[in-house]
Structure 1
Amino acid sequence: MTTATESPTDGAARAGRALAGLQHDRLTLDRVDRYLRGQHAGPYMPRTATREYRLLAQRCISNFLPMVVAAPSQALSVEGYHRSGAAADAPEWHSGWQANGLDARQAAVYRSAISYGHAFVVVLPDEREPGRPRVRGVSPRNMWTAYADPSSDEWPLYALELPGLPGAGGTVKGWFYDERAVYPAVADEETVTLGPGRPHGLGVCPVRRFAAQVDLEGRTLGVVDPLIPLQDRINQTVFDLLIAQTYGSFKVRTVSGMTPPLKRDPETGEPVLDGDGNPMPRPVTMDASRLLMAPDTDTRFGTLDETPLGGFIESVEMSLRHLAVVSQVPPHYLLGDMVNLSAEALAAAETTLMRMVAEFKRSFGESWESVLRLCARVAGDETGAEDLASQVQWADAESRSLSQTVDALGKARQMLDVPARALWARIPGFTDTDRASWPQMAAEEDSAARLADSLTRAAAPVGPADA
């Protein structure tokens, strides 16, 4: 299906441009994907490297990039969604969020967006239940979108989704989205063929971008790509450490001025000769349980010192600290040297990480609000679809003890006269589902307290003054 102003040829042309964009972006995104999975560029080594050298090159890969992605993504978790002026969760929270299992699936969107720079979420009506929204995340390796203004547009003009790139002579089936419908697409290396579309009735291309960082030109940047040179440097240093550890980390015993014992024929007692006619020496067995002796008076025993490894270890630690600075991840996350840190010291160490997380929350929060408003439109709720003041609620992941939080909230209640129930949402570790039952529980407790007070008064003995 095509729009009234667009011919099938126009739709195929836009899909072809999207295919070219996806092929271009995959060059960078696939590199990021390889590094996240530990498939790094190997360290430098000579062309004549032996099999043992190559084995050490495989073992030197120390992949710290997944931790750089996990640190901020694990601090991101949406736990509620409120419309403007409402205290309870909006209907689309249940029909769009909870029904699609996004409590668990939201993490994959954050990891993809933080790793690659952006990710996508698609919202469509269910084919069997048109009023029910279907929400799913899509990797940027499998989707490309076009915008009129890529830095500020909420919705794209169109989008192409392919589960993989077509190879030589092959095709890949996927989907093409625009503001009217979703079309089955078949792509080869150069063109995309669109089939009859299924109208979605949402009025926008139902693909929302989740951008970790986006500049005024619409370019997105993830946390992994800038760190690849540092990761390669760490791998090279670890490789050099393994080489020094394998070949030079132990003392070498030397002997000079001693005639080595020769291999002799057991029958004749004559020395055994090699192919060149030279006597073959007998291996000297040497370990900690043996004593070396030499019959020659000119024999001298000595040792060669081992190669110190401290410099290599310090170099690895320095590179990890550089990685921590560039990525805004606390150094103790990468070095594992956290010892007896108080809650205040831990919060101070995580300041830069929490600032980065706060930036992600602002960007991703706007994206989730767009997604949930579109879920309301799928359900036919135009009030929720047009509520631009709605907000998602993020779980508090900062390093503060519960006692500190409760103490601060208690002071806000006593000193600033903030209503107690307004502070319930600030208590960490609870979801809106948990808090929904608190008013009734509080009312029951108040009723029970009043009943107990009445019974106590009724059972109190009547004194002379009362008479």
Structure 2
Amino acid sequence: MTWRDYDTEFATLFTPTMVYRWQRPTREGGQWTGRTAGLSRGEPSHIPNPLKVVPLVELPNRGRLHGKPRSEIASVLPLQDSVNTLWAHLLTASDGLALPARAVLGMDRPVREIVDPETGEVVGEEDLPLDKFRSDRLLWLEKQGASIAEFSAADLQNYLSVIEVAVQHIAAQTRTPPSYLAGKLVNVSPDGVAASEAGLVAKVTERQRHFGSALREVMRLEALAKGEARRAESLALGSVVWRDPQFRSDAQYSDALVKLKSIGVPDEALWERIPGVTPDEIERWKKMRTDAAGAILGGNVTDLFGPKPDQGEDDDQADEPEGAEEAA
């Protein structure tokens, strides 16, 4: 991999046994030399690879058995270029044609006399620049028959209509909800929002299935870098658990979990479906459930419903004669 930092370009090559590090100046077109960043600490430019593997993991988008992975935006780049072009045309038109234009008909162009400074005689005339009149908003009609004409402003909505259609095509091809691109979401029911996001949720779910193995390898390399070989071996045999890509409210999650419970799904499986719940919390819930069951079977429900009143105090209150409190 290579990168540039100000006027120096760096390169690093990873192999299972070595890590080669080079640098070169970009402005002078120099040759690649060993990295000098760690020489002051006695570190050589090329060092052995402590992981014994290449610490780079590819996350291919829409990987295929033959050929390179396919970009997510490659199919919509022409449409995006069209949108940019139309937007540039719209700004150009708004600069000169967005407002009505007026013209003076039947009148000579304003001129200025040229006077000889020595003799004071008029030796000619020259046209006056119109920019001054435009900025001062001055206009006069002295010649008979002169009139004013007006050109209406251009309708820029035509550009916007074509841009909106192009954006809709981009949303359809990329399975992006139109509201994400257009920003229009007024009086839409929750079911309508979920239906508009169905394509995006399906695409995200598909990517989760393909990216899981690569992210598992990333976690394995992290364990190797920390020197935890046993954890790295366990991670290599594990699986990536993703959060639900579809947004649901707490009420929707609760309703779904209750329905799953009604068909016999175990509590542990339901707890795993709750967003934000960690395995440690699930283990704590299991312990709490076990303690509660043990208290019920043992006849001690104090921990479940709070402490009971003292039995002796109840007996004393029951033995007091009526009216004793009043007599006291």
Deviation at 1:238, TM superposition (A): 0.7
> Within the alignment, does 1:409 sit opposite 2:257 as a pair?
yes
Relative contact order: is structure 1 or structure 2 higher (C-alpha 8 Å, sep ≥ 6)? 1
Match of 1:177 in 2: 15
Write out per-residue CA displacement over residues 87-106 of structure 1, whole angstroms, 9 at most, x where no aligned residue: xxxxxxxxxxxxxxxxxxxx
* Structure 2 CA distance for aligned equivalents of residues 353 and 303 of structure 1: 50
Letter in 1 for 2:14: F
Query: Do residues 336 (structure 1) and 183 (structure 2) align?
Result: yes
Identity %: 24
Residue 420 of structure 1: how far off its partner (Å)? 2.5
* TM-aligned CA distance change 1:265 to 1:326, over 3 Å: same
1:303 aligns with 2:143: no
The one-letter code of the counterpart of 2:68 is R
Q: Which residue is equivalent to 1:220?
A: 69
2:96 pairs with 223, 235, 247, which one?
A: 247
Find out whether 1:258 has 2:103 as its counterpart.
no
Show CA shifts across 1:363-413 (max 9, x none). Answer: 21111223334555641317x616665222222231322211111101211
Which residues of 2 match residues 28-39 of structure 1 at below 5 A?
none
Distance 1:393 1:258, change over 3 A: same
Q: Tell me if the contact between 1:272 and 1:280 (Cα under 8 Å) persists in the aligned partners.
A: no
Residue 233 of structure 2 corresponds to 385
CA RMSD of aligned residues (A): 4.2
Say whether residues 1:163 and 2:12 are aligned partners.
no
Counterpart check, 1:345 vs 2:180: no
Give the superposition deviation at 1:212. Answer: 1.7
Q: Distance in 1 between matches of 2:201 and 2:86?
A: 30
How far apart in 1 are the matches of 2:268 and 2:122?
96
Residue 206 of structure 2 is matched in structure 1 by 359
SS state at 1:253 partner: strand
Shift of 1:241: 0.6
Matched, 1:320 2:167: yes
d(CA) in 2 for partners of 1:223, 1:256: 57
Change (3 A) 1:454 1:282: closer
Alignment TM-score, normalising by the size of structure 2: 0.70
**CA separation of 1:271/1:375 partners in 2, compared to 1, >3 Å: closer, same or farther?**
same
Deviation of the 1:177 alpha carbon: 1.4
Q: How many Å separate the matches in 1 of 2:55 and 2:234? A: 15
- Is contact 2:205–2:245 with CA below 8 Å preserved after alignment? no
2:69 equivalent to 1:231: no
C-alpha deviation, 1:234, in angstroms: 1.3
Cα pair 1:263 1:279 within 8 Å, conserved: yes
Residue 244 (structure 1) shift: 0.9
Shift in CA distance, 225/240, structure 1 to aligned 2, threshold 3 Å:
same
CA distance in 2, matches of 1:271, 1:443: 116
What is the rounded CA distance, in whole Å, between the counterparts of 1:312 and 1:450 in structure 2? Answer: 74
- Whose radius of gyration is greater, 1 or 2? 2
Q: In the aligned structure 2, how far is the partner of 1:372 from the partner of 1:255?
A: 76
Between the two proteins, the alignment pairs up a number of residues equal to 289
Q: What is the TM-score when the length of structure 1 is the normalising length?
A: 0.51
Q: Deviations over 1:271-295 (max 9, x none)?
A: 987xxx33434858469x9896633
Q: Please tell me whether the aligned partners of residues 244 and 309 of structure 1 are also in contact (alpha carbons under 8 angstroms).
A: yes
Name the residue aligned to 1:399. Answer: 247
Alignment of 1:117-132 (within 5 A): none
**Secondary structure in structure 2 of the residue aligned to 1:208:** coil
Q: Distance in 2 between matches of 1:175 and 1:236?
A: 41
Question: Does the 8 A contact of 1:212 with 1:221 survive in 2?
Answer: yes
Unaligned runs of 5+ in 1: 1-141, 143-161
- Structure 2: runs of 5+ lacking an equivalent: 25-29, 35-43, 319-328
